[in-house]
Structure 1
């Protein structure tokens, strides 16, 4: 695919706007599509697909919006790891992706790239590109359910000629200008609380929105078949390097056993409150201990994006007025 038309849902959002800018820089034609607001109470793939099948008017709207597009990118969704309102999370992160796929099937769309999240695999030792998920919060469950439903549709449509190929692209901990998560990271890294477990050499899946946008463009334009799951490539960051870049100071190096005890206690307390703070505790765990990931499809096929995380975090430090 050299010159194609792309329909992008969530084109004005954090990931969507970066994706649109990258696609246009790569000479692609982009059609922004407004994502409908949805809610869902479905907790299984079966019930999710049943609900989606009843929303003909939404499918029709999306299909009309996709007319003439070759690739659809779903960058819409609710990026709210701490939110507990399940119906809105499920509507945005599980139901919408299914409706996008059903609408794409009615058009000339050849490829659907759904922006998912590596959070679906939770605290797995090594993030990978398998369908295996271990959700730990309402947010990660909603993303995992959406992925599972899309992969079922991909399997069901595999033998049908002309249907769109569906890929779930798992974004990792994406940082960029204007994102509150990045501003909070810069404040934390600049404070006396800035800390890591051990020597800080553990790899961490903290990445830049620029690299994510480039990876979406590369994947969407790849001439061959894409796997059912893609993982955003590692940008070389470690637990200590991200804090040095975002705070311009050396973080405290805490005993790993002490950090592990604190994390385990946090999860236990959160569990007593209905997992209310699991997202927050998990972020602290990744900050201290990081998380490894496989090399994956991107490296195997020469589609690695340019690492930009150091640049992004240093800009965040300046934007926070730290000098």
Structure 2
């Protein structure tokens, strides 16, 4: 079995490659084409994908049993634009079309749980509630990909929704550790709400399990929860978070969104990240849990290691990297 990882030089893509190769799988990496588009609906993006020449890409994908799209713009605070839509919305549809033409059996697209925004409980449905230009670009990518998949039934297309992915050397992980040790570290009482913080190793293991699964796989697979709460996330990263009255936190969040609406939504992303730090976000167990292929939890040790990673200067993340679910770590860099 031969795998190809598009965006294999990025944070997540390189972790996926390591997991594949350590399992004895013949895996290689390739750079994804750089695309731009001004299309802003799923239908228009799918139409735009049909007009992109894919002969060169088809040749690259030829002969692989599984193709993983780990490419994209990991810019949760981006203001939008043709580059963001091209990388996160148009590219998945283009690669899926090329994979179908090349006879690839399974295509795995790495998306973000940010597409569901303030949904009380993350799940594996097609419901999306994007709250920023970044999350909207990822949601459009999922929707356009579903349209392409519908006309290529011979290709198994699976979107894996990554949550708040942390890992050694990642600037957002170092920022989370810095936030945890700062006076800003706090949670809404009682601090036991689930937090969707996970490890890049667990995400890579999930990609491996989904790609190897012999039976049918649903169109969307949510990365399983690693068992951390809003309080234990900050504690694992070296913090001693204050526990604030939940009513006060709800009032502050509501006031933040009200102010943001006056400013045409410009503060939505920042308010959402604070909301996640205080209240977290629950999620359904999902398909992976039902199949008993939940990866080993490693987020706690990753966060513990980030306490000592003081040399990371916060370099920009690779373009070929699916952005994490917007989580508490982003509050420190917004």
What TM-score do you get using the length of structure 2 for normalisation? 0.91
Q: State whether residues 118 and 127 of structure 1, in contact with CA within 8 Å, keep that contact through their aligned partners in structure 2.
A: yes
Q: Which residue of 2 aligns with 1:191?
A: 182
Query: Any runs of at least 4 consecutive aligned residues in structure 1 with deviations exceeding 3 A, and if so which?
Result: none
Q: Unpaired segments of 5 or more residues in structure 1?
A: none
Following the alignment from structure 2 to structure 1, what is the Cα–Cα distance between the partners of residues 16 and 261? 37
Q: Unpaired segments of 5 or more residues in structure 2?
A: 312-334
> How is 1:296-311 mapped onto 2 (pairs within 5 angstroms)?
296-311=286-301
Cα deviation per residue 1:250-287 (whole Å; 9 max; x = unaligned)?
A: 21000111111222222222333332232222111111
> How is 1:1-323 mapped onto 2 (pairs within 5 angstroms)?
4-56=1-53, 59-158=54-153, 163-247=154-238, 249-320=239-310
Following the alignment from structure 2 to structure 1, what is the Cα–Cα distance between the partners of residues 127 and 184? 34
Q: State whether residues 7 and 29 of structure 2, in contact with CA within 8 Å, keep that contact through their aligned partners in structure 1.
A: yes
Following the alignment from structure 1 to structure 2, what is the Cα–Cα distance between the partners of residues 268 and 178? 36
Following the alignment from structure 1 to structure 2, what is the Cα–Cα distance between the partners of residues 271 and 6? 45
Q: State whether residues 82 and 277 of structure 1, in contact with CA within 8 Å, keep that contact through their aligned partners in structure 2.
A: no
Following the alignment from structure 1 to structure 2, what is the Cα–Cα distance between the partners of residues 320 and 277? 29
Relative contact order, CA 8 A, sep 6+: which one is greater?
2
* Count of residue pairs brought into register by the alignment: 311
SS in 2 for 1:146: helix
SS in 1 for 2:307: helix
Following the alignment from structure 2 to structure 1, what is the Cα–Cα distance between the partners of residues 18 and 142? 26
SS in 2 for 1:157: coil
Following the alignment from structure 1 to structure 2, what is the Cα–Cα distance between the partners of residues 82 and 267? 16
Following the alignment from structure 1 to structure 2, what is the Cα–Cα distance between the partners of residues 120 and 186? 25
Deviation at 1:206, TM superposition (A): 0.5
Q: State whether residues 96 and 149 of structure 2, in contact with CA within 8 Å, keep that contact through their aligned partners in structure 1.
A: no
Q: State whether residues 194 and 227 of structure 2, in contact with CA within 8 Å, keep that contact through their aligned partners in structure 1.
A: yes
Q: State whether residues 78 and 93 of structure 1, in contact with CA within 8 Å, keep that contact through their aligned partners in structure 2.
A: yes
SS in 2 for 1:201: coil
Cα deviation per residue 1:2-27 (whole Å; 9 max; x = unaligned)?
A: xx111101101011010000011111
What TM-score do you get using the length of structure 1 for normalisation? 0.94
